[in-house]
Amino acid sequence: MESQLEYVNILKPGLLTTVQDLGRRDYRIYGVSVSGVMDALSFRLANTLVGNDENDAAIEITMMGPTIKFETKTAFSITGGNLSPKLNGKSIDMWKVIFAKAGDELSFGKYISGCRSYIALAGGVNVPVVMGSRATFTRGHYGGYMGRALKRGDKLYFNKPDFNIKQLQGRRLRTNDIPDFGEERPIRFILGPHIERFVNKSIENFSNGTYSLSNASDRMGYRLEGEQLIHKDGADIISDFITPGTIQVPGNGYPIIHMADCGTSGGYTKIGVVITTDIPYVAQKKPGDKIKFQVCDINEAQNEYRKIEKMLYDIELNNKLLSRN
């Protein structure tokens, strides 16, 4: 019987290359980090382009991309930050379907915009499900490919798609639907819940402030440098739940934006939460980059959320037209 599994070979691992999906959403009740992709928008678009379910596992790469050899022909897409992708040494376009044949090599160059790209393979990466997800959680050594970032010599298997990949010929995203990670745009957030715990001046300073991303930033949290915020009466709260996007301010007065691998709860004051549609733009920032904040109200945030979901829904409709085995 023909094997249902195909694979790619990792020739060079890059800086931080992991298998991810949309994360462990129903396990926070057990205190389990959601984890999963940093930039869900680019990830979902990458999967949709190649006919996958939007939650199929794909590869997240960071700043310095890997070199990957295809062992069988397949279709793939690259989305997210522009890390200069090349196929057999020749530049290739992002946000479209690309066909590879056995022996082709995918590599990356310098980063032009953003810092994370997604490589979706038609059929989706095949790794075991741990607590409802295929996402790698490196801190816990579980999920994804053996609970770790990919290394040289790893063979990463993917599922054979249940449709003929020729149907993906010519697929690309409309320019309007492609997020621009090079553009300067403010990061919007909803104030609270603990604004009354800060002196007024600090709320004002933060709300219109510009911060830069420190070197001590990772998939768990982004530490910010800039105006120090002053608490009225300490930074401790009785621990409660946090979500990715939460901006926590510990005793030293420097904000931390919680990202995909963040814990589920914390014990420091929260000055605000980045709105869902802007998290991908935060995720594409790298140490040294500036973040300019802007206050947003909940109605505007939820309207933006609905707009993006509608756009993704419309794009996903194309996959209903594929004829599947």
Partner 1 sequence: MSIENNQYPSYYPMGDRAIVAQFENFISIDVSRKIQSFLYMIKKQDIKGVMELLPAYNNLTIVYNPVIIKYDELIMEFKKIEKDISDDVKIESKTVHIPVAFGGEYGLDIDEIAERSDLTSTEVIKKLQSKSYYVYMIGFIAGYPYCGNIDEKLRFKRRSNPRMSVKKGTVQIADKQVGIFTMDAPSGWHIVGWTPMEVFNPHHLPPGLLSAGDYVKLEPVSSDFVKTWDKEKEKEWNRNWNM
> Which residues lie near partner 1 (CB under 8 A)?
25-33, 130-131, 139-140, 142-143, 190, 192-193, 234, 236, 238-243, 245-246, 251, 263-267, 270, 273-276, 298-299, 301-302, 305-306, 309
Closest CA to 279 of 255, 245, 242: 245
C-beta closer to partner 1: residue 44 or 270: 270
d(CA 131, CA 31): 12
Query: Quick count: other Cβ atoms within 10 Å of Cβ 296?
Result: 21
Angle between helices 40-49 and 298-320 (to 10 degrees): 20
Tokens of 312: 């993704």
> What's the number of CA atoms in the CB half-sphere (13 Å) around residue 181?
24
CB of 159 to partner 1, least distance (A): 22
In the complex with partner 1, the residue whose CB is nearer, 17 or 35, is 35
User: H or E element: which one contains 280?
Assistant: helix 279-283
Q: What is the DSSP string of 73-130?
A: -EEEEEEEEE--EEETTEE--SSBEEEE-TT-EEEE----EEEEEEEEETT-B----B
Rounded CA gap, 93 and 91, in Å? 7
Q: Which one, 192 or 288, has the nearer CB to partner 1?
A: 192
Q: In whole angstroms, how close is the CB of 34 to partner 1 at the nearest point? A: 10
Report which DSSP code applies to 137: B
> In the complex, what is the shortest distance from the CB of residue 220 to partner 1, in angstroms, rounded to a whole number?
8
> Would you call 289 helix, strand, or coil by DSSP?
coil
Angle at 51 between CA 50 and CA 52, to 5 degrees: 95
* For partner 1, the closer CB: 164 or 252: 252
Q: How far is the CB of 267 from partner 1 (least distance, A)?
A: 7
Give 5's DSSP letter: E
Closest distance to partner 1 from the beta carbon of 171 (Å)? 25
Rg of the chain's alpha carbons, rounded to an integer? 20
Min. distance of Cβ 117 from partner 1 in angstroms? 26
Instruction: Report CA-CA distances (Å) from 140 to 33, 47, 137, 182, 263.
Output: 9, 26, 6, 33, 11
Between 182 and 192, CB nearer to partner 1? 192
Give min distance, CB of 32 to partner 1, in A: 6
Is the CB of 290 or the CB of 306 nearer to partner 1?
Answer: 306
Closest distance to partner 1 from the beta carbon of 12 (Å): 28
- The residue (of 80 and 245) whose beta carbon lies closer to partner 1 is 245
Which is closer to partner 1, CB of 180 or CB of 309? 309
